[in-house]
Structure 1
Amino acid sequence: MSQYGVGLRTVMRSAVFLTAGALTVPALAGCGSPDPAGKPLAGPDIAPAARDRIADGGTLRWAVDAVPETLNTFQADADGATARVAQAVLPSMYRMDAAGRAEINADYLESAKVVETEPKQVVLYKLNQQAVWSNGREIGAADFAAQWRALSGKDSAYWTARNAGYERIERIERGDNDLEVRVTFRRTYADWKSLFSPLYPKEIMGSPDAFNEGARRKLKLTAGPFTLKKVDREDDEVVLTRSPRWWGRPAKLDGIVLSAVPREKRAAALAKGEIDVADVDAATVRRVERTRGVEVRKSLEPAYTQLALNGAGGPLADERVRRAVARALDRGELARAVLKPLGLPTKPVGSHVALAGQAAYADGSGALGDQDMKEARALLADAGWEPGEGKKAAGAEKEAAEGEKTKPDKAKPEKSAAEEDDDGTYIVGEDNKGEGGGDEGRELAQDGKQHLKGSAPGAYAPKGTAAPSSAAGAGPLAKDGKALSLRFVLPSGPGSQTLATVAERIRRMLDRVGIRTEVSKVEEEGYFKDHIASGEYDLALYSWPTSAFPATDARPIYAKPVPAADGSLSVEQNYTRVGTDQVDQLFDQAVGTLDESEARALMRKADARIWAAAGSIPLYQRPQLTATKKNLANAGAFGFATPVYEDMGYLKPTPRPSST
């Protein structure tokens, strides 16, 4: 995903048709209806102050997880500290506002707009005439062109981690003067505003050596309110100083020092005055708040925590079992457990592709439905899971006898009954296809026209499927002599207590419908790589960021896994291994239209189908807790907003009243 999102960022097969008209996707807001995107659940908490109230000078000591391995945000090992440096010292054509929407950055751009659509899309950038690199050279078309060539994917000598959007560019050229840049696309690209943020100079992007190695430890040129002084690996810090070449509002601070401080040591470092600002965990909030001169500023991150269900094999390969897990969850309870003690809004996340306030957001969770224990048990019964411990000996004997015959082919995703007849455009609850899936003009289930008055939307078992009684449902379930048990993988170590609390509540909810879970705590360092990315889990909790450009950034997370040339399964970032041609098509359509309203509608339809497939269940927006010195202004918990580094600083002392 993009820099606004996991690790800087960054699916699902169509759900089985269970009963005609039972599963619906909420109708999109019509003309005159309120914007379903709504407002952000929490705004920035940064102690805003006018610049005239802020003293000139001072150094801000900012805790980060580690000194960045690279200063190149387009490399695979770029991290949050890499992004922090880039935001302070490099140009970005657009920045995020408090609602998580892209706004033009006037320090670099006078304007940017699509000036042609036929025969090809052309975007004309008009640069701020004062915008220069730290050597005095004007920022111009040559820098844009060098970045495009490096990130286009055509030259394998560049070790790039992402090139989304750049591969759609056909050419870049100077406009009518040096301040104009014309970008012509070979294919229409809706998310063109995501490009060139950050923008690196041609001296870095112009050669593979400079890109691959040169930009890892230093930046030859910068163009921001701050410049990079040094990366000191002995002292574990990055030092930024006020840029003398900056043409915008002068930075209030003399400098910013990014210091590597482990999370568990930050409370003590704040108390000793060794750092001035640091993200902290919920477990240390009360301790930090007792520190004199320090406060905790709170918002919600542009990221959400989800329950991931690995659909590659085992019980969760059956969509009915995945939906049963989802219908057993009280997402509201889980959100309250995490956010209420912090005094933050507790509304569960309703979308996989955006968060409340962002343009693409709409609550699509109705495509799956709220907690319904009876329905969860009925889905499990329909999938063949019945009360009983499971006959282990008989089951083991049967499994040994049938062995390879029942073993799923890792190179090919298992197909459900619905997928056997699905050409990739089959929609849950639909007998016919419609917008986004082929035949135009036909009614869609998600248009709300199949929703029966008084019934709840969601994934239902076929009519006639008897749900076990509450008492029976509380007992363990088995099928073919094998007990229904799922491996729930969690990280251990500092900062994992919140996930442990959420997991325990999920375990209890699943237990009530007869789904047993085996909790497996693993080392935090290898949690994502060794378990999530490799598919060694049934259930897991991890977070994804969201961005202003979901058609680009969210697509790899929900793309349908496909067999790779070596026989393995290529999943991109879809670690649930649940995908659908229909979702892929909707993403492709959204990224290929310049009609913003149409793009939002397509993304919301894609999200509804992702909900229906139940490969991942969004739970809550992640809390953002930042401890700062009380007299620090315009810094803290930024929420969606891009930090404005030149406005950060320490408040001037309040004059004492005269005694006369």
Structure 2
Amino acid sequence: MPRPPRTLLLLPLLLALVLGGCTGGSDRDARPRPSATTEARDGTTAWVRADPSDVRRGGTLRIGLGSLPVTFNPLHADAVGTDVERLVGPTTGQVVRITEDGGWEVDPDHAREVEVVADHPLTVAVRLNPDAVWDDGTPVTAADMAATWRALRGTDERYAVASSDGWDAIADVRPGRDRFGYTVRFAERRGDWPLFVSPRLPAQVAASPRAFNRTFRDRPLPSNGPFVTRDVDEDTGTITQEPNPRWWGDPPRLRRIVWRVAEPSVQAEAYAAGELDVATLDTDRDVPAAQVQRTSGSQWSHLTMNAGRGPLRDVAVRRAVALALDRDALARDVAEPVGAEPRPADSLLVLPGQRGYDAVARPTTRDVDRARRLLAQAGYTETRPLRLSLPVAGGSDALAARARAIRSQLAEVGVAVRLRTVAPDDFAAQVLVPLDFDLLTFSWGPSLLGPDAARDRFLPVTSPANVTGVASSAAPWDAVRDARSARARTAATARLEAALRREAVVVPLAVTPSVLAVRPGVVNVGAASFEQPRWATVGFRADD
């Protein structure tokens, strides 16, 4: 069906996700070897922890970065699918932090209190830390929160926002008894509300579409974190951050953070040459085993079926395709080059290590015999094979390899898949806008603090993130939203998962591991699936 104008405007955001893996590939000849790597016990955080008193003062931490940002504003549409959020981590702060298991806690550097004060409607009271300031000395206040909401809620199309999801659920932001307090009233319940109650931008930035869209393309956002960005050198691909002289919290341990831009293969070489302290790896070859950190990761690949046209309108055919996929093999393909444990993605809503995963996940086993029977019942036999198309964005060896593996697996049950390589610049116009495909594979990120963020991947049919061609039922989503306790919410999420898997429009494939090389002695930063570093505590162990 034709996409409405707003969906067309937002398609570049989806395109960035589809093309997110198109910057290189893994060395397919690399294989895991016995090692003493640091592997997170629960799969979520692998960095070495140290009390701040055990971290020495001073030193420069050198970190690899995938690419230079086209904007330093992580809330802008051009930041989708980039490393900007990671890059600005040392220079920004919010009233809550994401914890190791994907939960949240109040960050006392930025807030004294974050509390639900009413359920009908959901209302959250926030008391900011009155010591918190932007790097020009201006206090962080309720006015910044109100301006941030107005910029991000999606009602003013002059703002090219990365996403209005969540912000558009806020009915109003009301000032408190002074400028450091406010309440956020939501028009609808959301389990992930803690992600939308922080003043992400100074009011003077959020109030100006021009400032939001253009000012920070070549210079950093104002800082309210322990570091500030001092230099951006596009010629050498380096970004330098130093302690924020107006920081009110515990003094940062590091003297300097230097980000160096390079592809993962080049980062590994720079690490081996002693030029980086933290490097992202696409293979663990040539890196000392004890210096490799691995977590299960926060990205997961999937196969999406266009249920709005052709043979995939039949749910039995979609289930046959799902049953024919060897998800264990696909997980091995992505994990073995970096020596990680293969992890099939067993949920569309929750990742390994997140709260509720064991209750929600639905592991499935490949069943080619049943797949063949379902196809035969639907009228597809050797004389009338099922033929499907799978367009692939050019430029990513890993994505192309996954598409070939899917084609090979489906061929075993008599499904003929035609792969079609499409130039990245043409992918939106040729594939996403007209929904001209039967199958599509790319990766999604995590749905933090509940499945709310995943909703627009399934409904409505006009959602820019929904490429299934149909809309799932709203009822099980609403049941999760309306759950009043954590136990009830988990149970409702499990029922939602079951409903989505029965529809079989999206098949979860594999969790992509996060693998970093980290120099011995570096503490409180490294490989993690969800947890955010406390950058003021990051540094080098005092006794090293």
Q: Shorter-chain TM-score category?
A: 0.7 to 0.9
Q: Provide the residue aligned with 1:387 in structure 2.
A: 382
Separation in structure 1 between the aligned mates of residue 364 and residue 511 of structure 2, nearest angstrom: 19
**Is 1:606 matched with 2:496?**
yes
Calculate the TM-score normalised by the size of structure 1. 0.70
1:346-375 alpha-carbon deviations (Å, 9 max, x no partner):
342221011133235356675x95322221
SS in 1 for 2:56: coil
The alpha carbon displacement at 1:624 in A equals 0.7
Q: Could you tell me whether the CA contact under 8 Å between 1:507 and 1:516 is conserved in 2?
A: yes
SS in 2 for 1:209: helix
Separation in structure 1 between the aligned mates of residue 307 and residue 299 of structure 2, nearest angstrom: 23
**Is 1:87 matched with 2:82?**
no
Closer, same or farther: CA 129–148 of 1 in aligned 2, 3 Å: same
SS in 2 for 1:132: coil
**Is 1:353 matched with 2:349?**
yes
Q: Which amino acid aligns with 1:136?
A: G
Q: Provide the residue aligned with 1:575 in structure 2.
A: 467
The alpha carbon displacement at 1:124 in A equals 0.9
Q: Provide the residue aligned with 1:288 in structure 2.
A: 287
The alpha carbon displacement at 1:241 in A equals 1.1
SS in 2 for 1:163: coil
Q: Provide the residue aligned with 1:210 in structure 2.
A: 211
Separation in structure 2 between the aligned mates of residue 652 and residue 530 of structure 1, nearest angstrom: 56
RMSD of aligned alpha carbons: 3.0
- After TM superposition, list the pairs within 5 Å mapping 1:246-645 onto structure 2: 246-282=247-283, 285-289=284-288, 295-339=291-335, 342-362=338-358, 370-388=365-383, 478=384, 483-490=385-392, 493=395, 496-497=397-398, 499=399, 502-522=402-422, 531=431, 535-561=435-461, 570-580=462-472, 582=473, 584-591=474-481, 595-645=485-535
Q: Which amino acid aligns with 1:330?
A: D
- After TM superposition, list the pairs within 5 Å mapping 1:31-70 onto structure 2: 41-70=42-71
SS in 2 for 1:288: coil
The alpha carbon displacement at 1:523 in A equals 5.0
Q: Could you tell me whether the CA contact under 8 Å between 1:364 and 1:611 is conserved in 2?
A: no
Q: Could you tell me whether the CA contact under 8 Å between 2:79 and 2:162 is conserved in 1?
A: no
Q: Which amino acid aligns with 1:154?
A: T
Separation in structure 2 between the aligned mates of residue 59 and residue 526 of structure 1, nearest angstrom: 42
Q: Which amino acid aligns with 1:485?
A: R
Closer, same or farther: CA 541–189 of 1 in aligned 2, 3 Å: closer
Q: Could you tell me whether the CA contact under 8 Å between 1:560 and 1:577 is conserved in 2?
A: no
1:118-143 alpha-carbon deviations (Å, 9 max, x no partner):
4x332111222322222333221111
The alpha carbon displacement at 1:189 in A equals 4.1
**Is 1:136 matched with 2:137?**
yes
The alpha carbon displacement at 1:641 in A equals 0.9
Separation in structure 2 between the aligned mates of residue 311 and residue 164 of structure 1, nearest angstrom: 24
Separation in structure 1 between the aligned mates of residue 364 and residue 187 of structure 2, nearest angstrom: 41
1:90-125 alpha-carbon deviations (Å, 9 max, x no partner):
22122211111122212111221111234x332111
Closer, same or farther: CA 7–97 of 1 in aligned 2, 3 Å: farther
Closer, same or farther: CA 179–9 of 1 in aligned 2, 3 Å: farther
1:62-112 alpha-carbon deviations (Å, 9 max, x no partner):
221211111222211114332023322122122211111122212111221
Separation in structure 1 between the aligned mates of residue 90 and residue 521 of structure 2, nearest angstrom: 21
SS in 2 for 1:63: strand
Separation in structure 2 between the aligned mates of residue 160 and residue 369 of structure 1, nearest angstrom: 37
The alpha carbon displacement at 1:174 in A equals 2.8
Q: Provide the residue aligned with 1:73 in structure 2.
A: 74
- After TM superposition, list the pairs within 5 Å mapping 1:216-231 onto structure 2: 216-219=217-220, 221-231=222-232
Q: Which amino acid aligns with 1:617?
A: V
Calculate the TM-score normalised by the size of structure 2. 0.84
Q: Which amino acid aligns with 1:209?
A: R
Q: Which amino acid aligns with 1:249?
A: D
Separation in structure 2 between the aligned mates of residue 533 and residue 629 of structure 1, nearest angstrom: 45
The alpha carbon displacement at 1:525 in A equals 6.9
Q: Could you tell me whether the CA contact under 8 Å between 1:140 and 1:180 is conserved in 2?
A: yes
Separation in structure 1 between the aligned mates of residue 179 and residue 14 of structure 2, nearest angstrom: 37
Separation in structure 2 between the aligned mates of residue 8 and residue 552 of structure 1, nearest angstrom: 21
Closer, same or farther: CA 131–238 of 1 in aligned 2, 3 Å: same
Q: Could you tell me whether the CA contact under 8 Å between 1:300 and 1:621 is conserved in 2?
A: yes
Closer, same or farther: CA 488–72 of 1 in aligned 2, 3 Å: same
Q: Which amino acid aligns with 1:645?
A: W
Separation in structure 2 between the aligned mates of residue 616 and residue 78 of structure 1, nearest angstrom: 26
How many residues align structurally? 510
Closer, same or farther: CA 318–143 of 1 in aligned 2, 3 Å: same
Separation in structure 1 between the aligned mates of residue 318 and residue 481 of structure 2, nearest angstrom: 29
Separation in structure 2 between the aligned mates of residue 171 and residue 541 of structure 1, nearest angstrom: 38
SS in 2 for 1:519: strand
Separation in structure 1 between the aligned mates of residue 339 and residue 276 of structure 2, nearest angstrom: 25
- After TM superposition, list the pairs within 5 Å mapping 1:82-231 onto structure 2: 82-118=84-120, 120-197=121-198, 199-219=200-220, 221-231=222-232
The alpha carbon displacement at 1:618 in A equals 0.8
The alpha carbon displacement at 1:214 in A equals 2.2
Q: Which amino acid aligns with 1:576?
A: T
Structure 2: tracts of 5 or more residues without a match:
1-12, 19-39
Closer, same or farther: CA 595–530 of 1 in aligned 2, 3 Å: farther
The alpha carbon displacement at 1:488 in A equals 3.5
Closer, same or farther: CA 630–206 of 1 in aligned 2, 3 Å: same
SS in 2 for 1:83: helix
Separation in structure 1 between the aligned mates of residue 274 and residue 14 of structure 2, nearest angstrom: 31
The alpha carbon displacement at 1:503 in A equals 4.2
SS in 1 for 2:85: helix
Q: Could you tell me whether the CA contact under 8 Å between 1:40 and 1:357 is conserved in 2?
A: no
SS in 2 for 1:183: strand
Structure 1: tracts of 5 or more residues without a match:
11-38, 389-477, 562-569, 655-660
1:560-597 alpha-carbon deviations (Å, 9 max, x no partner):
41xxxxxxxx34112232432x1x33334434555444
Q: Which amino acid aligns with 1:104?
A: V
Closer, same or farther: CA 107–356 of 1 in aligned 2, 3 Å: same
Q: Which amino acid aligns with 1:195?
A: F
Separation in structure 2 between the aligned mates of residue 374 and residue 221 of structure 1, nearest angstrom: 59
SS in 2 for 1:264: helix
Q: Could you tell me whether the CA contact under 8 Å between 1:352 and 1:607 is conserved in 2?
A: yes
Q: Which amino acid aligns with 1:554?
A: A
Q: Provide the residue aligned with 2:10 in structure 1.
A: none
Separation in structure 2 between the aligned mates of residue 274 and residue 536 of structure 1, nearest angstrom: 46
Q: Which amino acid aligns with 2:214?
A: E
Closer, same or farther: CA 130–102 of 1 in aligned 2, 3 Å: same
Separation in structure 1 between the aligned mates of residue 206 and residue 147 of structure 2, nearest angstrom: 5
Q: Provide the residue aligned with 1:446 in structure 2.
A: none
Q: Could you tell me whether the CA contact under 8 Å between 2:309 and 2:469 is conserved in 1?
A: no
Q: Which amino acid aligns with 1:552?
A: D
Q: Could you tell me whether the CA contact under 8 Å between 1:350 and 1:363 is conserved in 2?
A: no
Separation in structure 2 between the aligned mates of residue 8 and residue 522 of structure 1, nearest angstrom: 15
Closer, same or farther: CA 117–635 of 1 in aligned 2, 3 Å: closer
**Is 1:235 matched with 2:236?**
yes
SS in 1 for 2:355: coil
Structure of larger gyration radius:
1
